[in-house]
Amino acid sequence: MSFLKKLHWFELLVLVSILGFTLYAALSAAHNFPSRWFTRDDAYYYFKVAQNISEGHGSTFDGINLTNGYHPLWMLVCIPIFALARFDLILPLRVLMMVMAFISIATTIILFRMLRKSFSELIAIILSSFWAFSINVHSIVTQQGMETGIVALSLVMLLSYIQKMEQDTSLIDRKTGFKQAAVFSVLSLFVLLSRLDGIFIVLFASVYVVLRKNHTFRTFLFIDVILAYVVVVLAYVSRSDLPFYLAVYDSSALAFTVMLVAFQTVAAFYLGLYDSTSWKTPTTILFRSFIAVSISAGLASLGMVVLSLILPEYGLPRAIPFLYIVAVPILGTFLRYTSKLLSLEPIPSAAQISIFQVITQQSAQLKNNLREWIEDAMKFGWISAAGLVIYMGINRYYFGTFMPVSGQIKRWWGAAQNNVYGGPAQNIANMFGVDPRNPDGWFYISLPLYKTARSIVKWFHLGVPYINLYWVLFTIVIVGAVLLFLLSRRETGPRLRSSGLFLLFISSFFHVFFYGATAYSAKHEWYWVPQMLTVVLFIGLLLQIVYDHLKKVAWIKTIALGLAAYYCVSMLYSFSYEMITRMPQIDTHIGEPFVDMLPIIEQHTEPGSLIGMTGGGNIGYYVQDRTIMNMDGLINSNEYFQLLQENRAGEFYRKVGLDYIFASKFIITNSSPYRYQLTADELISIPEAEKYGHKEIMHYQPAE
């Protein structure tokens, strides 16, 4: 009871509501779970592997091939839960639902407490209500049974701790103690192991806290990193086209960017580009930027020449460094000088110092700070770095590859032609995650705007394409947000830092662009939890700015409180209605299979059969007395992936004794990555077996 007394009334509401309605759903009819709740195939990859691990079969989906195609922390959560599957296949799903409810509650409470420190309590309640009770958020983060819930929890825990460090001035005035740094590093490892592409926010956050005494340095450094990668990629694309770049040059662009950032950071530091007090005019910034960029581009180009001698695929078109040298000084100057004008810091009136004096001053600053930066970097990063090294070592020892095979396969798919799993970015907007026709990272912005544009065109019978109006609305939103920021920049700047929005946006932007700028296929909505949080915080910042300007009027404040209460109640009502209607207590499907394609498989195969499927997660979990082998490789072995790349998967099928394949015969023989692995003659249709859509059960009879 003492714990409950410490909770804010809103936190208590979240606890009681989510627990109560989730418990109702968890006790509902068994057939609801595969058909209405855990419907994603990818979730069952975790469930079946966790079940096999708990029963002593090792990290395997099919009981034959060792696999690491999953994110480790969520698998650790699933293992003890799916030990219950030996008694009843639905029981662990009921338990998992409650575990995910507790994760959702913890995430919401931490988020609410973090928001209260940066925004008003009113805005914190609105944002937290959305995160806790939005059906859209719930369907992506909690319901699917994926790692997304624990990703969200790890992110808000890290951001909350960074907020504490930002607001604790004692940490600015003295060296951070080992305990504080260790907590940060453990939380960073939590983010990293919850989903491995969390490496982006971990890297940016580490630099963020190491440079916590110098806001200007870390801000401009982050801008330079983003600018470098974007300009390099667009330069590559301009010299060829997007499909050719993704198929040939994506790794080269990344390597070139890494070298550029390394050299440019040093050059920009010595030239005072990270110290706004050392320059006053755009001309000064442009001149210094040109020198820094020219030096770094030259050195990085030499590095790429050496790299291409070792690895020929890392080619560098000759025009790229020159395009970079032209574009980056101009864009960097605009961003630096604009940010200086928008800040409230007075521009120094002292005479402009020479570049040699700047280098001397920066050398002295580096001498004073370098040791502290190195010590802090080691303190803040040693646990997360050691954890990552240990994880990669375990993977290499047990699975033959340092990283999950699933991510490697999706990179391979992205470069393949005629790919049944879709391809990489389709256009530049898609690369940045803002193309509503191919929704990716920023779908929480792009999809509502696109739906609005479509509605406006229909209502007013406008003769313009939806996408054109979408871009107009997108521009209006961005410009409007900037104008709101300018109206209240004295309060907004500190809020950007204290809420973690600046750090989260930078890392989320890089996260989206990295996926878009590399040949990566089959991205899904659960990849984008950081972007969802970013949009929520961004909307909160805009609401806070508006509220700050209106709350001076008493009746406006009263109306705002009423609207907030109505919003919170309506979100809770929608959430409760969805939970109750989706998960009814009466089972109207007793005696029916949990998955409707199961009878086709079980009636036309023998007990003990090994059946290959593309996907197959849910079938692999629910099928009786048969074994499902994943053919796309996401939850298969590294050996299988290597043979797939060499078009020798048929050797693997013969080796493991594959009996049947359940798939579309046309797709399996005409689309990558299968068309060179199998022939139509090896797949013998079973005439009496009904088809499931385009899929059919076929005997596999390998050619001699």
Residues 610 and 695 in one domain: yes
Domain boundary at 383, 399, 414, which?
414
Asked whether residue 5 is domain-assigned, the answer is no
Q: Residue 417: its pLDDT value, please? A: 62
Q: How confident is the model at residue 551 (pLDDT cuts 50, 70, 90)?
A: confident
Please count the structural domains in the chain.
3
- Residues above pLDDT 70, as percent of the chain: 95
Candidates 267, 302, 271; CA nearest to 284 is 271
Task: Identify the residue with better confidence: 673 or 454.
Answer: 454
Residues 322 and 346 in one domain: yes
Domain boundary at 414, 432, 450, which?
414
By residue range, what is the domain housing residue 234?
202-414
Residues 489 and 614 in one domain: no
Per DSSP, the residues of 449-489 read HHHHHHHHHHHHT--S-HHHHHHHHHHHHHHHHHHHHHHTH
Residues 541 and 645 in one domain: no
CA–CA distance from 275 to each of 271, 272, 280, 684 (Å)?
9, 5, 11, 71
Asked whether residue 184 is domain-assigned, the answer is no
pLDDT digits (tens, 9 = 90+) for 9-52: 899 999 999 999 999 999 999 999 999 999 989 999 999 999 99
Candidates 465, 466, 464, 474; CA nearest to 429 is 474
Asked whether residue 3 is domain-assigned, the answer is no
Task: Identify the residue with better confidence: 313 or 630.
Answer: 630
pLDDT reading at 173 higher than 50:
no
Residues 246 and 322 in one domain: yes
Candidates 2, 194, 7, 187; CA nearest to 109 is 7
Asked whether residue 86 is domain-assigned, the answer is no
User: CA 460, 463, 467 angle in degrees (round to 5)?
Assistant: 95
Residues 632 and 688 in one domain: yes
pLDDT reading at 5 higher than 80:
no
pLDDT reading at 345 higher than 70:
no
pLDDT reading at 347 higher than 70:
no
Residues 392 and 406 in one domain: yes
When the pLDDT of each residue in the chain is averaged and rounded to a whole number, the result is 89
Residues 609 and 534 in one domain: no
pLDDT reading at 678 higher than 80:
yes
User: Are 395 and 402 spatial neighbours (Cβ–Cβ below 8 Å)?
Assistant: yes
pLDDT digits (tens, 9 = 90+) for 557-579: 888 888 888 999 999 999 999 99
Q: Residue 405: its pLDDT value, please? A: 94
Residues 389 and 532 in one domain: no
Candidates 59, 116, 54; CA nearest to 87 is 54
Residues 376 and 466 in one domain: no
Model-level pTM?
0.93
CA–CA distance from 674 to each of 381, 423, 520 (Å)?
42, 15, 18
Asked whether residue 115 is domain-assigned, the answer is no
Residues 605 and 685 in one domain: yes
Sign of the C-alpha dihedral computed for residues 274, 278, 283 and 288 taken in this order:
negative
Domain boundary at 484, 518, 550, which?
550
User: Are 267 and 296 spatial neighbours (Cβ–Cβ below 8 Å)?
Assistant: yes
pLDDT digits (tens, 9 = 90+) for 224-257: 999 999 999 999 999 888 888 998 899 999 999 9
pLDDT reading at 320 higher than 60:
yes
Lookup result for tokens 């997108």: 474
Asked whether residue 233 is domain-assigned, the answer is yes
User: CA 274, 275, 280 angle in degrees (round to 5)?
Assistant: 115
Backbone angles phi, psi at 538, to 5 degrees: -65, -45
Q: Residue 522: its pLDDT value, please? A: 82
Asked whether residue 88 is domain-assigned, the answer is no
Asked whether residue 241 is domain-assigned, the answer is yes
Q: Residue 172: its pLDDT value, please? A: 45
Q: Residue 166: its pLDDT value, please? A: 80
pLDDT digits (tens, 9 = 90+) for 407-448: 999 988 887 765 666 678 889 999 999 999 888 889 999 999
Q: Residue 124: its pLDDT value, please? A: 94
Residues 367 and 428 in one domain: no
